[in-house]
Amino acid sequence: MTTEPTALDAVATTARLTAALRAAESERPDRLFLDPFAARLAGAAGAKLLDELDMRDSPIIPVRTRFFDDAVTEIAAGGIRQFVIAAAGMDTRAYRLDFPVDTVLFELDRPNLLHLKVDLLDRTAAEVTLRPIGVDLAADFSGALDEAGFQAGEPTCWLAEGLTPYLTEPDVHRLLDRISELSAPGSRLLIDFVGTSLLESPAMRPMLDRLTERDMTWQYGTEEPEALLRTRGWDATVTRLGTAGTMLGRWPFPDAPRGTPGVPQGYLVHATL
């Protein structure tokens, strides 16, 4: 069984950092979720990166994970049976959430990262019909989805978590165009964005610089996710990250309204086509 990656680039390695954050959250007595696979997927590489970036106490990943866990569970209970996770990385929802037995879940990410996850999970059975697809998300992945059995005529739930900050603005637009073109009426989109306020915040600069030093630069942000999706036919409900964290009792910062000077924002989006 493979225990450490041999050729993951810096951005792909953030998947192991995210797993390390989920592992740390799972150890808390007041945890927002339990991920029994996270420590295995994080490995020494993820744990080391977590300490280097000094992010162990950050509430962002725990709050975001719980928000999307709840949304995915609700959508599955509502009847959608086709899910696509873009930039699936070390995501474990196929293994730990309660999906109906006839659910099909496609995981899109770089081939070496998906192969590593399979090795690290060591024959662990998913709770759904799971179809990993190695693709470049900045390229056209529709053909690879079709070959794997994706049904474009059926409503789909798309999840793109922790992806958009690493993309350029043109790549964000291309990603949203492809998702929209492949989505039947009634489809859902779960996606998050950082605000330009966060990218420009002096308070966030040390963390952003640490990411840049490791070739994990955050490039894209927006304060208007609704407008970004409305032009593509989606009706978006946007929740500020601080609002979600406050509701969960895990946000140590002020939950300031959008546009408050000096307050960096992040956004959690649940959109319907």
Task: Indicate whether 132 pLDDT > 90.
Answer: yes
pLDDT at 8: 56
Task: Give mean pLDDT, residues 149-162.
Answer: 97
| Average pLDDT value over all residues in the chain | 93
- Taking 90 as the threshold, does the pLDDT of residue 28 lie above it? yes
Cα distance between residue 240 and residue 18, in whole Å: 20
Cα distances from 46 to residues 20, 94, 115, 124, 242, in angstroms, run 5, 21, 17, 20, 25
Residue 145, CA distances (Å) to 113, 155, 178, 182 in order: 18, 15, 11, 10
Phi-psi category of 175—alpha, beta or left, where left has phi over 0 and alpha has psi -120 to 50?
Answer: alpha
pTM of the model: 0.94
> Residue 112 burial (CB < 10 Å; 0-12/13-18/19+)?
middle
For the stretch 1-26, pLDDT in tens is 334 444 456 666 889 999 999 999 99
Q: Would the pLDDT of 266 be above 80? A: yes
Q: Are 157 and 84 in contact (CB under 8 A)?
A: yes
Comparing 258 with 80, the larger pLDDT belongs to: 80
Residue % of the chain over a pLDDT of 70: 96
Mean pLDDT of 244-270: 93
Average pLDDT over residues 129-139: 93
So what's the pLDDT on residue 7? Answer: 47
Mean pLDDT of 123-129: 90
Write down the pLDDT at residue 11. Answer: 65
Kindly report, residue by residue over 64-91, the tens digit of the pLDDT: 999 999 999 999 999 999 999 999 999 9
Convert the pLDDT of each residue in 162-186 to its tens digit.
999 999 999 999 999 999 999 999 9
